Amino acid sequence: MSNSTNESKYFDLHTTGIGYLNRIREVKPRKGNPFMAVTVAALKGSTESVEYTYIDCNVVGAEADKLIRRCQEAVDADKKVLVNFRIGDIWADVFTYSSGPKQGQTSASLKGRLLYIAWIKVDGEYVYQAPLKEEAPASSESQALITPAEIQSEAPAPAESTAKVTPAAVTPSAKTPAKPARAARGQRQAA
């Protein structure tokens, strides 16, 4: 007979990216403990015409909570706060507008849990950079292509500016010549 443990195992759905912080606030529910919340305007699409996806997040974890609280004053002062983030377990939340021109219409918003912040820039200046881990996470390879130090410019904050952004230069590694057997095989297939 084998010993079984009661450890729960979970599947993680993590979304990583770069985005601007908006609406930092402390939520005080009637039942339960207060928690920090923030809306992240995540950048997506071409650097020539950036688009934003807004994700309303509960801040999870002591380190992320501390960093978001540090950013609250800058966001309230309308400074551009850009972060490299990891959000977990994104879901769509359906709601109905209760006032305004869209009153009565149904819509959806993205929600998630802000788990980790790798770095923070306020008005283009680094104010925080997480210590490097010895073992890199097994997340997307796209993060390995452009590091925070290589980012020369970032997209404009949503609804504030429409300046064009150029991507940071990424130099591919030097190509090594193919082995003779591989080169010959490629020629046979092309013929």
pLDDT band, residue 83 (cuts 50/70/90): very high
Q: Nearest-CA neighbor of 36 among 56, 58, 20, 63?
A: 58
What's the rounded mean pLDDT across residues 82-103?
94
Which pLDDT belongs to residue 163? 37
What's the rounded mean pLDDT across residues 51-72?
95
pLDDT greater at residue 85 or residue 153: 85
What's the rounded mean pLDDT across residues 33-59?
95
pLDDT tens digit sequence for 160-191: 433 333 334 333 444 444 444 444 444 444 44
DSSP labels, the chain: -------------EEEEEEEEEEEEEE--SSS--EEEEEEEEEES-TTS-EEEEEEEEE-SHHHHHHHHHHHHHHHTT--EEEEEEEEEEEEEEEE--SSTTTT-EEEEEEEEEEEEEEEEETTEEEEEPPPPSS--S--THHHHS-GGG----PPPTTT------PPP-PPPPPPPPPHHHHHHHHHHH-
Which pLDDT belongs to residue 177? 44
Which pLDDT belongs to residue 150? 42
Q: Which amino acid is at 148?
A: P
pLDDT greater at residue 177 or residue 109: 109
pLDDT tens digit sequence for 21-40: 999 999 999 999 999 999 99
pLDDT tens digit sequence for 111-162: 999 999 999 999 999 999 998 876 545 444 444 444 444 444 556 666 543 3
Which pLDDT belongs to residue 100? 92
Which pLDDT belongs to residue 3? 59
Token readout for 74 is: 């800058």
Which pLDDT belongs to residue 6? 76
pTM of the predicted model as reported, rounded to 2 decimal places: 0.67
